[in-house]
Structure 1
Amino acid sequence: MRQAARLFFGFLDILLALLLAAMAVMVFVNVVMRYTMNSGLPVSDELSRFAFVWLTFIGAVVAYHHRQHMGMETVVAQFGRRGRLVLMGISDLLILGCAGVLTHGTWKQLPINASMSAPVTGLSMAWVYGIGLFTGLGIILITLERLARLATGRITEDELRGFGGEMTEHPQPASAPRPQDRGE
């Protein structure tokens, strides 16, 4: 299961890179065309905006998976293990509620968006704004997995330290000898 999740999030990382590259190329080509030929590609403007929406919503799931979202680490750092566990549970429950609202709202809005077309490409706007379903469901699944681990006591100390804003890895200075160099 962990391998499947690792592959899935690796795929999302590649997709994000491709979306960012596509946006950069489309915008660059349009700028050059407008400067040199006094015209541009309207489809480039529209598709780069759609790519930005997808980039943002897919990136939200990836950032949430890696716990790179914003948090109140200053407050959480003041608590010990038990307090952090409680705050983590409360935080995950609030996130679950917000992701549920996002998913429900996107689902209710989808028929309206499906009936509208993009002005240049003619794409259904459901393709653009339907990404909210992916984001909402992705965050719900990640949060449910975290809550299950919290309820069963399988939260690691590194996760708790990370939740409090503490660094989980302590890199050694370049001048410090490595353990294998010291014969350990």
Structure 2
Amino acid sequence: MSSILSVSRKALMLSARLCRTVSVFLLALMAILIVAQVAGRNMLDIGMPWADELARFCGVSLVFLGVPVLALQGRHVAVDIVPTSLPEKLGRYLNCLSEFAVLAFAIITLVGFQSFLSRAWKFSTPSLGLPNWVFYAPALIGFALLLMISAVRLAELLSGNSPDGENSQKP
């Protein structure tokens, strides 16, 4: 079981690194698009609605692609004052409950995406004409990875390992 978790964590680390790299490029592209849009409007008197839509896509995408990186490292938003102040065993139970809640949230969100996109996949965005499945793909990828990461973290907690311990590497 330990070797499966180790291989799973390494595969998820590679995926998280890829998400982080794509997020950095999306952030740079978003900054360029916003500057180009402001310059085009103020200096050249041209509107670029496609740039606004693409910048919005970049911003939303980098957030959802950043989630797996933070979740894998255990650096997502967490209030851990209670689990850290309790005895180790009880704190571990609370951490398991927390990971299970994240896992359930990811499942519910992916089911909701499936329900939404089963009806809306054929529609396109207004300016760029991107199909909805392309526009929502980064969010789907982020939540699918979050689901896998939460499952691995929960398995690590249940097997007695610390998912945020000194042995866990950073992507």
TM range (shorter): 0.7 to 0.9
CA RMSD after TM alignment: 1.8
Aligned length: 159
> Partner of 2:139 in structure 1?
132
Give the counterpart of 1:119 among 94, 118, 126.
126
> Partner of 2:54 in structure 1?
47
> Partner of 1:71 in structure 2?
78
- The answer to whether the 8 Å contact 2:33/2:52 transfers is yes
Runs of 4+ in 1 over 4 A off after TM superposition: none
Tell me the amino acid that sits aligned with residue 101 of structure 1: I
Q: What TM-score, normalized by structure 1, do the two folds share?
A: 0.79
Which protein is richer in helix relative to its size?
A: 2
Gaps of 5+ in 1: 160-184
SS of the aligned residue for 1:103 comes to helix
> Partner of 2:165 in structure 1?
158
Quote the offset at 1:9 in angstroms. 2.1
Larger Rg: 1
Q: Provide the C-alpha distance between the structure 1 equivalents of 2:87 and 2:66, rounded to a whole number of angstroms.
A: 31
> Partner of 1:170 in structure 2?
none
Structural mapping, 1:165-180, within 5 Å: none
Q: What TM-score, normalized by structure 2, do the two folds share?
A: 0.84
Q: Provide the C-alpha distance between the structure 2 equivalents of 1:76 and 1:13, rounded to a whole number of angstroms.
A: 29
> Partner of 2:3 in structure 1?
none
1:148 and 2:155 equivalent?
yes
- The answer to whether the 8 Å contact 2:74/2:164 transfers is no
- 1:11-50 per-residue CA deviation (whole Å, 9 max, x = no partner) reads 2211110000000000001111111011132211111111
> Partner of 1:91 in structure 2?
98
> Partner of 1:106 in structure 2?
113
Quote the offset at 1:70 in angstroms. 1.3
Quote the offset at 1:91 in angstroms. 0.4
Gaps of 5+ in 2: 1-6, 167-171
- 1:104-151 per-residue CA deviation (whole Å, 9 max, x = no partner) reads 000111122212111111111121124332222211111111121122
Name the structure, 1 or 2, with higher relative contact order (CA <8 Å, separation 6+).
2
Q: Provide the C-alpha distance between the structure 2 equivalents of 1:107 and 1:81, rounded to a whole number of angstroms.
A: 39
